[in-house]
Amino acid sequence: MTELDVRPGLERITTRKTRIGLVAGGLGAYWPQFPDLLPQLQASARRVSERFSALDCEVVDVGFISDAHEGAAAAEKLRLADCDLIVGFLTTYMTASMLVPVAQRSGAPVLLLNLQPTESMDHATFDTGAWLAYCGACPLPEMANAFERCGIDFRSVSGYLEDERAWARIDRWIRAAGVRAAFRHGRHGLLGHLYPGMMDVITDPTLVSSQLGGHVEILEIDDLRVRVEKVSEAETAARMDLARDIFVLDDSVVEEDFRWGATVSVALDRLVEDFGLDTLAYYHRGLDGEMHERVAAGMILGASLLTARGIPAAGEYELRTSLAMLVMDRLGAGGSFTELQALNFHDNVVEMGHDGPAHLAISSARPLLRGLGVYHGKRGWGVSVEFDVKHGPVTACGLGQRRDGSFNLIASEGTVVPGPLLQIGNTTSRVDFGCDPGEWTDAWSGSGVAHHWALGTGHRAKDLAAVADLLHLDLTLVNP
């Protein structure tokens, strides 16, 4: 996303590659009738496999099938492969009986591809065999009907082999499958306790596992405290050097507070490693400056560094927002902890951000560390992150929860524009949603979103629609 991704000490985590199961096929009755057809279709299948490998995913290619028996064998191979997405390439006509077992047994979402060799046929020279290489569209309705009757969800992309528009849509499904995989294999830390009175942010951890997959690890502030106490002076000094390289240090930063934030940052890294966490949501109130309060107050620097590395961290015990941040991060959009701050009716923008962890990789400029003598609404003091998200298209994304307990994605596309910003140690961005700020705020609030969400770069509504599809979530788009 920015140069932060490759700075020493801030390298992004290595995540499990999205695993794609690929099977191509056609009707075997054609092969003896048209000897040149099968080699052509197999070459197309190899090209599709090459394109998938270039999308930075692991491809489990089970080859080319010609009948239902071979389809059943392919289904068993893909069942054992534990794929995140099954792709069926319809190279020509093939029967539904060849692919239904693959879809039924794999347990993974299914994407059907109809990619003919070129943009169009040469009608003057084509015989029946040449036409059949362009006939992948023919079985698509058959697959759709059979899948519907068998209770199998699917999605499809039609185009031609080198159709970049089609491959952009395919890439969207691959990235959505990566988000699904991040949830299915994810471990989400929940450290401390609820912020008293914030009824909207309360999330039942069991619902996360039941609806999204993965595991929520319940942590106590002492799990971090004991690691803070074991950080060496050399480790703290090295983390301070890293922070000086990444941030502009405002004159308000107190050296002792900066040192403490660096110490807690090292301990946070250790906590994440020890518990194998992919996200972290935290809050601890504390009292009278005692150790636990100081640990909780020192987390903003370390949480921001974690978020930039691909381990989203959210304050105020905001589990659903840390998960929304994970969605945006895995889509390549960043995803920074955000809430409403104010409305500017002169400039027609909504000002939003937060005092706390931020996704440094989407900062419009070098982020700033500011010293705060008090964290508004929270106990403690220390250093906080200040920046503006990169100017241009952005998407707000929240994970909502309805009265029946079901989660849903809520999103709105806007544009970050330049202008005056608060200088109070908060991330702040001016977002133009193309309408009256008051109308947008009413519509956004009326969607059922909680008062925190993730703000990421780019217009991501189509990406989020794909994510929602694979996760079986509704998507609410706010566009008043």
> For 320-354, what is each residue's pLDDT tens digit?
999 999 999 999 999 999 999 999 999 999 999 98
- Which residues are CB-neighbours of 88 under 8 A, at least 6 positions away? 23, 24, 25, 99, 102, 103, 110, 111, 112, 113, 143
**Mean pLDDT of all residues in the chain?**
94
Tokens, residue 197: 């009175």
pLDDT digits (tens, 9 = 90+) for 253-289: 999 999 999 999 999 999 999 999 999 999 999 888 8
Question: Which pLDDT belongs to residue 93?
Answer: 98
What's the pLDDT band for 439 if we cut at 50, 70, 90?
very high
CA gap 154, 175 in Å, rounded: 16
- The β-bridge partners of 441 are none
Cβ count near 87 (within 10 Å):
29
CA gap 360, 1 in Å, rounded: 10
pLDDT digits (tens, 9 = 90+) for 87-141: 999 999 999 999 999 999 988 999 999 999 999 999 999 999 999 999 999 999 9
Q: Which domains does the chain have, with CATH numbers?
A: 19-183 (3.40.50.10940), 185-477 (3.20.14)
- Which residues are CB-neighbours of 472 under 8 A, at least 6 positions away? 153
CB distance 339 to 468 below 8 Å = no
Question: Which pLDDT belongs to residue 480?
Answer: 82
pLDDT digits (tens, 9 = 90+) for 22-54: 999 999 999 999 999 999 999 999 999 999 999
Q: C-alpha dihedral over 80, 86, 89, 93, to 10 degrees?
A: 80
CA gap 429, 461 in Å, rounded: 20
State yes or no: pLDDT of 379 exceeds 80. Answer: no
C-alpha 215: how far from chain center? 17
pLDDT digits (tens, 9 = 90+) for 226-254: 999 999 999 999 999 999 999 999 999 99
| Predicted TM-score of the model (pTM) | 0.94
CA gap 380, 382 in Å, rounded: 7
Mean pLDDT of 434-459: 97
